[in-house]
Copies of this chain bind each other. A is one copy, B any other.
Amino acid sequence: MSAYLAFDFGGTRSRAALFDRDMRLIRRAETLSRVGDGPDIVLERLVNLGKSLNIPEDELVSIGIAAPGPLDTAAGVIIKAETLPGWSNVPLAETLSRAFAGLPAYIENDANLGALAEYHLGAGQGADPMIYLTISTGIGGGAIINGELFSGFGGHAIEPGHMRFTLPTGGIRRWEELASGTALGDLARQQLRAGASPSVLRDIEAIDGRAVGDAALAGDEFALDCLRQAGMWLGLGLVNLLHLFNPAAVVLGGSVMKLGDLILDPARKAIEEHVLFEGFLPESLLRPARFGDDVCLVGAALHARHKL
């Protein structure tokens, strides 16, 4: 019985799981990454996380690793990452391969592996091209084109969160600074400082995206208005993705998507207003992701099986 070992290494939290040949999750473990401890200690922690799964070494075939980018996937190296300050050219694949009997280990951008999971086993099945977006602290994404993960010339596609927009108030921002959970928190804090709108958020000390979302779900008008603004930006970025990829589906995951229509309705409004024509709007275009926190683990296991 073949088994695949999957890692999802993140700036905050790391996960490991064992999958069988049919991509059923057998066992799973999780730990805080504590990346401030530096690459050596953190990688050792990651190895131990994997070992804690009681891997049947004779059944293990290969290892897939989801990691924040930019990566050198061919060399198996994390070049650098915003969520990993001070890290540079860390040989993630080689380290994990060595710890597990020298088995082949493949790294890939975490959002790209999310796309792979949703395309093969999730909400994006049958949709080609398919775009997957994960909207939480930032905005990450992956694209499937002709049934394959699209990664561009250097392996760095797609980085939708880094689309640029100019602001009505001046300045140039990334999409993820306008439409992510972080953006929701920023927007609320700015506008509460600037104006006198009543809101339950005034009683909260550290207003983040989650607080804004919770307030909106409870009917707070100010928070709902923040969601409408971020939703408009979400829609504008989606318009760009539609015009560039003409996807059959955009699968939407990440914590912000838990807000559902509260953020999607304003996004849909912006899409309707700005899309070139209905040819860019196939049926079931926007789809909620099937997988939650495990999406990158599933993608990493799929990747380990595919690459082999």
A residues with CB within 8 A of B:
70, 79-80, 127-129, 145-146, 148, 150-160, 162-170, 172, 236, 239-241, 243-248, 274, 276-277, 279-280, 282
Smallest beta-carbon distance A253→chain B, Å: 18
Q: Decide yes or no: A170 and B172 within 8 Å by CB, A163-B243, A243-B163 being known contacts.
A: no
In the assembly, how many copies of this chain are there? 2
15 A–B contact pairs at CB < 8 A?
Answer: A79-B277, A79-B279, A145-B150, A146-B146, A155-B246, A155-B279, A157-B245, A158-B244, A159-B243, A162-B239, A162-B276, A165-B165, A166-B236, A244-B244, A244-B245
B-side contacts of A280, CB under 8 Å: 154, 156
**B80–A158 touching, CB < 8 Å:** no
B-side contacts of A169, CB under 8 Å: 168
Smallest beta-carbon distance A302→chain B, Å: 20
Smallest beta-carbon distance A100→chain B, Å: 28
Complex CA distance for A247 and B245, rounded to whole angstroms: 14
Smallest beta-carbon distance A54→chain B, Å: 38
**A166–B167 touching, CB < 8 Å:** yes
**A165–B166 touching, CB < 8 Å:** yes
CB within 8 A of A276: which of B128, B159, B274? B159
Complex CA distance for A113 and B170, rounded to whole angstroms: 37
Q: Decide yes or no: A247 and B145 within 8 Å by CB, A165-B166, A276-B70 being known contacts.
A: no
**B247–A153 touching, CB < 8 Å:** yes
Smallest beta-carbon distance A58→chain B, Å: 37
**B247–A152 touching, CB < 8 Å:** yes
